[in-house]
């Protein structure tokens, strides 16, 4: 018992020292920002953006082992479900910011020269809009927002409400969520209609976006789920390895409903700005014209085992392709670094129908 209490007190002291150090540096960052005018990027979402939060959870949903990270700096797995960088990394890079650290890894970075005043990544593999999605195996979107709220409270305590609000108002909040909820619905063959299911997602998401706004978020970069039925795992379940039409249909309904929700919130909250990325349009451009983007394989995963390399996940025992730049998918669910980079470039430089109403670069300047 005594040992447990001592360990708890030590962890609390360590985290407290880190938060003091972090928010001391935050004051300067709030005033100085970066050359592009965006002081920070805060990320919430799922495995498409997780940079290591799940490494710190008791869960099977991890990517902290080979062959993940084979093309990342140092060639080591970091917790990213990718051969290299993921969307969160590229978004930060495009904003001229370092990739924000995983929230749950902050306490392990004491003594580092890097400050985290340029953002934090709360994304967690397996996360969904609904708390029931992979419950207990990840940080749900609600839990991620809880952690953001805790972070904000510490920010206010150190720098004052005015500075903290100015910092968040000028920051980009990247949101990549919804795929896991859709996968769960399609696999469950539930009794609700797709419209009813999407309605339940949007009802929950509305409250979550409102919570982000109440904390101080003003610039939302929302990434649509896209053609989730075209990932290798769902292709493998069809007779001809085509895209899963049901999953794509539900995803389309969700993306349309998200865009309508963002428009509604924008009309109610005059200082709320957003950019919605049409992942479906962008992915079909890539899959329909792969050679234009340097790809030769659009169906099979680079890393895995079985049909389309999608029967078994990417593990140290899986085979993997020698050229990751010509594969759209890294494993049975996730894109390669090459694909993530192309999609992010479209987020920042594209126009309608890639993005609506503005791209992320334009959003950052508002």
Give the pLDDT score at 137.
Answer: 97
The reply to whether omega before 105 is within 30° of 0 (cis) is no
* Paired residues of 71 in beta bridges: none
Indicate whether 37 pLDDT > 50.
yes
**How many other CB atoms are there within 10 angstroms of residue 35's CB atom?**
8
Give the pLDDT score at 190.
Answer: 73
Question: Hey, is 289 helix, strand or coil?
Answer: coil
The single residue listed with the structure tokens 């050359």 is: 35
| Cα gap 362→95, rounded to integer Å | 11
Grade residue 20 by pLDDT with cuts at 50, 70 and 90: very low
Grade residue 119 by pLDDT with cuts at 50, 70 and 90: very high
**108 vs 192 pLDDT, higher one:** 192
The single residue listed with the structure tokens 């430089």 is: 349
Question: Which pLDDT tens digit goes with each residue over 258-278?
Answer: 999 999 999 999 899 999 999
Domains and CATH numbers, the chain: 2-27+36-365 (3.40.50.1110)
> Closest by alpha carbon to 233, among 342, 329, 126?
329
Cβ within 8 Å of residue 195, ≥6 positions away: 253
What's the pTM?
0.89
Question: Which pLDDT tens digit goes with each residue over 298-310?
Answer: 999 999 999 999 9
List residues with catalytic annotation: 47, 331, 334
262 touches 279 (CB < 8 A): no
Q: What percent of the chain has pLDDT over 70?
A: 87
Question: Hey, is 172 helix, strand or coil?
Answer: strand
Question: Which pLDDT tens digit goes with each residue over 121-132?
Answer: 999 999 999 999
Strand pairing report for 41-45 and 273-277: unpaired
Sequence-ordered strand ranges (E) for 94-245: 172-176, 219-223
**219 vs 108 pLDDT, higher one:** 219
Give the pLDDT score at 33.
Answer: 42
């Amino acid at each position: 018992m005594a040992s447990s209490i001592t360990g708890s007190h030590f962890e609390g002291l360590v985290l407290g020292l880190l938060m003091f150090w972090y928010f001391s540096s935050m004051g300067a960052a709030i005033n100085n920002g970066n050359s592009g005018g965006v002081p920070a990027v805060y990320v919430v979402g799922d495995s498409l953006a997780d940079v290591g939060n799940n490494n710190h959870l008791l869960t099977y949903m991890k990517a902290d082992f080979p062959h993940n990270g084979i093309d990342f700096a140092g060639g080591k797995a970091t917790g990213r479900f990718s051969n290299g960088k993921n969307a969160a990394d590229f978004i930060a890079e495009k904003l001229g910011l370092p990739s924000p650290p995983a929230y749950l890894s902050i306490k392990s970075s004491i003594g580092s020269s890097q400050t985290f005043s340029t953002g934090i990544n709360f994304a967690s593999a397996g996360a969904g809009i609904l708390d029931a999605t992979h419950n207990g195996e990840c940080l749900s979107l609600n839990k991620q927002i809880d952690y953001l709220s805790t972070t904000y409270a510490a920010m206010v305590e150190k720098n004052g409400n005015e500075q903290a609000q100015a910092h968040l108002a000028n920051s980009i909040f990247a949101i990549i969520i919804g795929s896991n909820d859709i996968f769960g619905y399609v696999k469950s063959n539930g009794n609700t209609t797709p419209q009813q299911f999407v309605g339940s997602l949007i009802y929950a998401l509305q409250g979550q976006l409102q919570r982000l706004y109440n904390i101080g978020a003003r610039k939302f970069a929302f990434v649509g789920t896209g053609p989730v039925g075209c990932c290798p795992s769902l292709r493998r379940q069809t007779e001809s390895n085509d895209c899963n039409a049901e999953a794509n249909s539900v995803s389309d309904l969700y993306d349309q409903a998200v865009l309508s929700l963002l428009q509604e919130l924008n009309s109610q909250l005059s200082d709320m700005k957003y950019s919605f990325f049409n992942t479906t349009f962008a992915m079909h451009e890539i899959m329909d014209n792969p050679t234009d983007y340097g790809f030769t394989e659009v169906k099979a995963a680079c890393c895995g085992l079985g049909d389309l390399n999608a029967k078994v996940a990417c593990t140290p025992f899986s085979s993997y392709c020698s050229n990751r730049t010509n594969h759209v998918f890294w494993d049975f669910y996730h894109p390669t670094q090459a694909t993530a980079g192309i999609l992010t470039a479209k987020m920042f430089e594209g126009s309608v129908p890639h993005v609506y109403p503005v791209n992320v670069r334009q959003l950052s300047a508002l």
